[in-house]
Structure 1
Amino acid sequence: MSVLDGTTFVVSDGRGDVTPDREDPTGLFHRDTRHLSRWEVRLDGHPLDALHGAATTVDEAVFTLVEPTGTIYRDPTLALTRRRTVGAGMREELRLANHGDAARTIELSVLFEADFADLFEVKDRLNKAGEAWSEVARDAVKLGYRRADFRRETVIRAPGAVLTAGSLVFRVRLEPAAEWSVEIRVEVGPPVRAAAPIMGTEEWLAALPRLETGWDDLDRVYRTSLADLAALRFVPDLPPDLEGAVPAAGLPWFMALFGRDSLITSYQALPFAPDLCRATLRALAALQADAVDDFRDAEPGKIPHELRHGELVHVGERPHAPYYGSADATPLFLIVLDEYERWTGDASTVRDLEGAARAALAWLDTGFITYETRNPVSGLPVQCWKDSADAIVHPDGRLAPLPHATCELQGYAYDALVRSARLFRCVWGDPGFALGLENRARALRDRFEAAFWLPDLGFYALAVDGDGVPVRTLTSNIGHLLWSGIVPDDHVDRIVDHLLGPALFSGWGVRTLAAGQRPYNPMGYHRGTVWPHDTALAVAGLTRYGRRAEAATLSVALLEAAAHSGFRLPEVYVGTSRSLNATPVVYPTACSPQAWAAGTPLLLLRCLLGLRASDGRLVVDPHVPDRFGGLALRGIPGRWGRADAVEIR
């Protein structure tokens, strides 16, 4: 069970308990540090039984517990309701009710610990190197941790409790039909730089476009996606003039600013919440590298991959402050910058970012985009979006040697050049530079065609490996190439046939790696699973090339999958065929909620309605299947003010 608010979140079991188990990383986390590693309720020294537990909103959960009786022949009479809310810490209301016919004297306790584990320590099961301490006062317990100048604290306030360094105990007498309640507060620290407040969740949601549809499941998926995006918003610890919230990548491991994830999420959400896009662009530009730093994989002009705030980053054991180990964040920055200007007309922001765009374009000016970490100890070896170590693999199962030039990176670079040329011509007033970018784009497209197209197979190679050999593996990356516009018209039919064919299309979405090849594994993180955002980018590519029926087929498949998984798309599904599984199988360790999965339904709606910004107006060109029973978005924000998109039945 998870609840979250920005970079503060709690992961617990179905009773609401957090247990100190290294195999099951639960806890209260804040800014990449676990502030509670144990939080267990006991009634007269015993765990309670769970009747029900559910998140009522993304930042609140309620658990209904009862005393254990040890037999089915005796009904419980004591019930405990735990109402948990997260924000800058955690609040937990405990409400105890006596439904028996006799008075009861009860000892209600909470056992707690704080290991202050860095998120990387939790993932990698590392031991702590600093010193823990505690202070017990009459009304509060303070737990602390220090390592050099790194400090973290957890303060627990429980009015009326008897406190120790690891427990709080209430002694309660309850008459029949009586109730007793208390609110416990958990504060986390030290406080960070005060940031400008962001718009509250309800206000933010109320400003978003209103969906009208005859498909009730779609309405629930839409509302869930928006609520998840609202909860994932946070203000990064950057200079105070950079106002606005950015989307964190996903719970539990990626509650931070990510270049790739935050940019793609912002692109997906742009016609709905352009504020996310503006804040993301400004934050990433403020962190853009201006020098070579091997430890952090930094090079002048690169947009960061990840910004962390935990202990291992602070003491220099991990390079994520920020880390630049992604090859796609930089071209994606340019793509999203152009799209933002098209939709919003916010020339002021775009003019402010001209220097960042020039630096990013200079980094791109290296032929094909390739990657190989400068930091072999703690850097990422694979730096495309499929960044697991075994993702870039030949059809016979051999891992491709580094450096890699994956195909979608070249597509992103092509699109970035074309889009940047438009900005230099139309916004930044440098038509000569724009012409040079267009020439670079044409040359890149020609080189790409010669190096990556596999005419005997009818698709593009996954990559060119470090030996200069094409990786002839069929993967979902070809859908990204359609999105980028680098595919010539005479190849589109064959690409589409592959995307919708049984090897790639599972029935729920496009597999990351096609079935029938030796490396295929439906449970392999990037070797046969279905990632919703990955399929959504293929949908955008199909829409770009006018293949609306195929785009609708993939869109409906994803939306049906979401309806089977609590109306929320997770980070990734297992890639088994729909003909074998009547419902989609969520990948065991998938992030949920996850930003670009939450943004996926928004991009699908944009494609189904054929929304695009052109010459300062909103163009609407719907292709909506009958099952939607009509589709409309009311109040779409943009340079036109607010506009409606309606598909009439």
Structure 2
Amino acid sequence: MRQERVHVMAGNAFAISDAQGDVEGDPTAPIGLFSWDTRFLAHWVLRIDGERLQALSRDDVTYFETRFFLVPGTASHYVDADVSVIRHRSLDDSFNERLIVLNHSPERAELTVRMEIGADFADIADVTKPGSARNRHVEVIPDSQLRQLRLRYRRERFGREAVVTSTEPAEVDECGMTFRVRIEPHGQWETDLHVGMTVRGEGDRDMRADLGTHRLHVHRNMREDLRGWLDRAPTLITDNNSLQRTYQRSLVDLAALRYEPLSSLARMPVGGLPWAMSLYGRDALITCLQTLPFTPELAPVVLRLLALLQGGQLDDTYEEEPGKILAELRYGEAAAFGHEPTTMYYGAADTTPLFVILLDEYERWSGDTDLVRELRHPARLALDWIDEYGDSLGDGYVRYQRRNSHQGLVNQCWKDSAEAITGRDGRQPALPRATCEVQGYAYDAKRRGARLARQVWGDPEYADRLEREAAQLKQRFNTDFWLADREYYALALDPDGAPADALTSNLGHLLWSGIVPAERAGALAEHLLGPDLFSGWGVRTLAAGQRVYNPVGSHLGAVWPWDNAIAASGLRRYHLDAEAARIVDGMFAMAARIGGPVPEVIAGYPRTLTKYPVQLPIAGHPQAWSSGGLLMLLATVLGLRPCGDDLLVSPALPAGLGQIELLDIPGKWGHSDAYGRDRADGVPTRRLGLS
């Protein structure tokens, strides 16, 4: 049986322990205290008189704070334990734990409280790739007078340090802290343990201090910050308690996944816990697109940083090209010394058009033309990349083929596992590959770039050119990718134009982009909601019945919430409201059954077979674009759409979703209210809510 894991998190820092709050480092699992892609604590074990503790219960206060209620010894001691322990754990830039030992006896208690402490400073890449771990020499400096244990690791310019301090006197040695405790009858003893984490660079400088990004302790502002985040989001009024819980959970999870990169003082979303606690270009762009009606403050930060990090040269190691938008940013040792090309990795074919799409969509919601003018040059460079480096064969399609043949990703679309791009028979197309959804993004980026050029940049000739190119791409795409005998689009084309004919969820992305002619949308909807693709919880990445279909394969049959949010939005774009509603119903039912953070992916088993969504061990949670996907689904059923200075609302609610009112939607119209109610006959009403 899989052991229960407990996490607290804040920004890109997280701590994962067992149910008792203990950490025993596992070289193949992300157990411990991590920040900036490094494990700062690999061992954190509490003992009372030499005994480990057992859990009575736990109170998960919020994402950055939890309490463990414990007793020493084995389960047989529970009923008559004279001592109990509360571990109150919180996390911001630092890890904090208050130990409270309670004496329930009428006699004085004399106890030895021991916290075993150790660090290995492993890179998260060591954990994701078993066998890649390095032997690191960790310098350990105990100081009982200062009540402090300092753990250091340094390799040339790369340095990491954890400093553990106590508010109570302790005997400090190289393996931890020991407290000799005397507690009066029915009394208590407590100490606060604080673990500071320092990221050191050239000259042993604290990189965060150099950039002025030190922040005060958790109790100063973490709750206030969360409250402000929730207050700025629209208020959902509904008689559907499950929907209300899902909405609040999504907002809280997104709050937990904001971090300040070393190059910015403003926060943006990381990918998700535990594997993607850093900036991923695709995830961040999609999350911002999903959350514009709810938390638009994320978008300008992401756009500015991605523009700052935009490719400016040709570099095969990092797959950088002029105009290309970043795929991944990492801070760990593997990245710093080139063991992984992730310091700034550009191996993605879709981030660059998505950058232009987000810039345009953000302006539609916010009216922030100043940002569009500020980012004119990066946006034009991105559009140039589509035609120059993206179109590597000169056939008008954005293709990918890794430049780093040793470490680069084979597939550089969102389905980036090595076996994801395939035909129905399991054969993989040759490289460079042109996947269908990337062409949809490129088409959409050109259309949106044309609007910005005409309305903001004052360049009608450039706008005309982009519109012509978009129209040509649409015509060419609908000839070359369309499989007339099957009535859907090929997943990809090989260099000779031969199609990889797998039936996949990518059809939903094509609807979302608008590259599909209206007369073909119905056929795509039938496929998306047919039994081969639709599991009942959501649309599978790959349809059942194909050679490599696997319901627990990440991109070969599993179900991704963000993927489904895109598909539902695309269906509504083509007025296929009933089909979109089925996806919305399945996704919200899945979220309700899971109850906690929605994972990045669930198994593709039919809902008729499994009444509970089957979660996969590889799936991280919370994930920014999964939580954002649920918000996108809510916006989709309400039909929220900016139109000039107005917000259009056209509800299409699934039967049984109940009454919905979304109040104070942020945007250039001030704050608008959206309403949607089911009539008695199950047909949704349609209203236009404007302030």
Q: Same fold (TM over 0.5)?
A: yes
Aligned-residue CA RMSD in angstroms?
1.6
Q: Are the structure 2 counterparts of residues 100 and 466 from structure 1 closer, same or farther at C-alpha, using a change threshold of 3 Å?
A: farther
Q: Are the structure 2 counterparts of residues 548 and 74 from structure 1 closer, same or farther at C-alpha, using a change threshold of 3 Å?
A: closer
Q: Are the structure 2 counterparts of residues 441 and 86 from structure 1 closer, same or farther at C-alpha, using a change threshold of 3 Å?
A: same
Q: Are the structure 2 counterparts of residues 120 and 466 from structure 1 closer, same or farther at C-alpha, using a change threshold of 3 Å?
A: farther
Q: Does the aligned pair in 1 maintain the 2:29–2:127 contact within 8 Å? A: no
What TM-score comes out, normalization by structure 1 length? 0.97
Q: 2:645 aligns with which of 593, 616, 620?
A: 616
1:360 aligns with 2:385: no
2:58 is aligned to: 53
Identity %: 46
1:468 is aligned to: 497
Q: Does the aligned pair in 2 maintain the 1:130–1:147 contact within 8 Å? A: no
1:519 aligns with 2:527: no
CA deviations on 1:476-515 (whole Å, 9 max, x unpaired) are: 0101000000111111111000111111111111101111
How far apart are the structure 1 equivalents of 2:496 and 2:59? 52
Moved more, 27-36 or 62-71: 62-71
1:136 aligns with 2:110: no
How far apart are the structure 2 equivalents of 1:129 and 1:427? 55
1:559 is aligned to: 588
How far apart are the structure 2 equivalents of 1:53 and 1:26? 19
CA deviations on 1:234-284 (whole Å, 9 max, x unpaired) are: 12222xxx5521111101111111110000000111111111011111110
How far apart are the structure 2 equivalents of 1:244 and 1:49? 41
1:151 aligns with 2:180: no
State the shift of 1:173 in Å.
Answer: 2.4
State the shift of 1:398 in Å.
Answer: 2.4
2:183 is aligned to: 174
State the shift of 1:70 in Å.
Answer: 5.7
CA deviations on 1:279-315 (whole Å, 9 max, x unpaired) are: 1111100100011111100010000001111111112
Q: Does the aligned pair in 1 maintain the 2:71–2:78 contact within 8 Å? A: no
CA deviations on 1:588-612 (whole Å, 9 max, x unpaired) are: 1211110000101210111111101
2:212 is aligned to: 194
1:42-81 to 2 correspondence within 5 Å?
42-69=47-74, 71=76, 75-81=80-86
1:283 aligns with 2:305: yes
Letter in 1 for 2:447: V
1:391 aligns with 2:403: no
Letter in 2 for 1:194: G
Letter in 1 for 2:241: D
Moved more, 217-226 or 115-124: 115-124
1:257 aligns with 2:279: yes
Number of aligned positions between the proteins: 646
How far apart are the structure 2 equivalents of 1:147 and 1:609? 54
Q: 2:570 aligns with which of 541, 555, 561?
A: 541
How far apart are the structure 2 equivalents of 1:364 and 1:181? 60
CA deviations on 1:345-371 (whole Å, 9 max, x unpaired) are: 001111000000110011001221111
Runs of 4+ in 1 over 4 A off after TM superposition: 196-199
CA deviations on 1:600-646 (whole Å, 9 max, x unpaired) are: 12101111111010011111111113423211111111111111111
Q: Residue 9 of structure 1: SS of its match in structure 2?
A: strand
1:236-635 to 2 correspondence within 5 Å?
236-238=261-263, 243-365=265-387, 366=391, 367-466=396-495, 468-635=497-664
State the shift of 1:475 in Å.
Answer: 0.6
Q: Does the aligned pair in 2 maintain the 1:196–1:244 contact within 8 Å? A: no
How far apart are the structure 2 equivalents of 1:467 and 1:433? 31
CA deviations on 1:387-406 (whole Å, 9 max, x unpaired) are: 01111122122233322211
How far apart are the structure 1 equivalents of 2:427 and 2:567? 26
How far apart are the structure 1 equivalents of 2:471 and 2:265? 38
State the shift of 1:161 in Å.
Answer: 1.7
1:113 aligns with 2:135: no
Q: Residue 482 of structure 1: SS of its match in structure 2?
A: helix
Letter in 1 for 2:424: P
How far apart are the structure 2 equivalents of 1:298 and 1:35? 31
Q: Residue 345 of structure 2: SS of its match in structure 1?
A: coil
Letter in 2 for 1:109: R
Could you tell me which runs of 5 or more consecutive residues in structure 2 were left unpaired when the two chains were aligned.
1-5, 200-205, 216-220, 679-691
CA deviations on 1:25-78 (whole Å, 9 max, x unpaired) are: 201011111100111111222211112235320111111111224637953232
Q: Does the aligned pair in 1 maintain the 2:290–2:631 contact within 8 Å? A: yes
State the shift of 1:466 in Å.
Answer: 4.2
Could you tell me which runs of 5 or more consecutive residues in structure 1 were left unpaired when the two chains were aligned.
none
1:165 aligns with 2:170: no
Q: 1:124 aligns with which of 129, 138, 145?
A: 129
CA deviations on 1:100-143 (whole Å, 9 max, x unpaired) are: 34433221111111111111112113222553211111220110
Moved more, 393-402 or 259-268: 393-402
How far apart are the structure 2 equivalents of 1:594 and 1:646? 28
Q: Residue 80 of structure 2: SS of its match in structure 1?
A: coil
Moved more, 398-407 or 150-159: 398-407
Moved more, 432-441 or 243-252: 243-252
How far apart are the structure 1 equivalents of 2:135 and 2:49? 36
Q: 1:208 aligns with which of 206, 230, 233?
A: 233
Q: Does the aligned pair in 2 maintain the 1:247–1:595 contact within 8 Å? A: yes
Q: Does the aligned pair in 2 maintain the 1:213–1:628 contact within 8 Å? A: no
1:31 aligns with 2:36: yes
Q: Does the aligned pair in 2 maintain the 1:218–1:559 contact within 8 Å? A: yes
Q: Are the structure 2 counterparts of residues 176 and 233 from structure 1 closer, same or farther at C-alpha, using a change threshold of 3 Å?
A: same
State the shift of 1:175 in Å.
Answer: 3.4
How far apart are the structure 2 equivalents of 1:196 and 1:357? 32
Q: Residue 94 of structure 1: SS of its match in structure 2?
A: strand
2:15 is aligned to: 10
How far apart are the structure 2 equivalents of 1:618 and 1:485? 20
Moved more, 561-570 or 417-426: 561-570
Letter in 2 for 1:119: I
State the shift of 1:648 in Å.
Answer: 4.2
How far apart are the structure 1 equivalents of 2:74 and 2:653? 55
Q: Does the aligned pair in 2 maintain the 1:91–1:186 contact within 8 Å? A: yes
Letter in 1 for 2:434: A
How far apart are the structure 1 equivalents of 2:661 and 2:75? 55
What TM-score comes out, normalization by structure 2 length? 0.91
Q: Residue 645 of structure 1: SS of its match in structure 2?
A: strand
Q: Does the aligned pair in 2 maintain the 1:261–1:595 contact within 8 Å? A: yes
CA deviations on 1:325-350 (whole Å, 9 max, x unpaired) are: 11110010011110001000001111
Q: Residue 362 of structure 2: SS of its match in structure 1?
A: helix
Q: Are the structure 2 counterparts of residues 68 and 468 from structure 1 closer, same or farther at C-alpha, using a change threshold of 3 Å?
A: same
Q: Does the aligned pair in 2 maintain the 1:66–1:76 contact within 8 Å? A: yes
Letter in 1 for 2:523: R
State the shift of 1:169 in Å.
Answer: 1.2
CA deviations on 1:531-588 (whole Å, 9 max, x unpaired) are: 0000000011011111111111111111111111124311110111100111101111
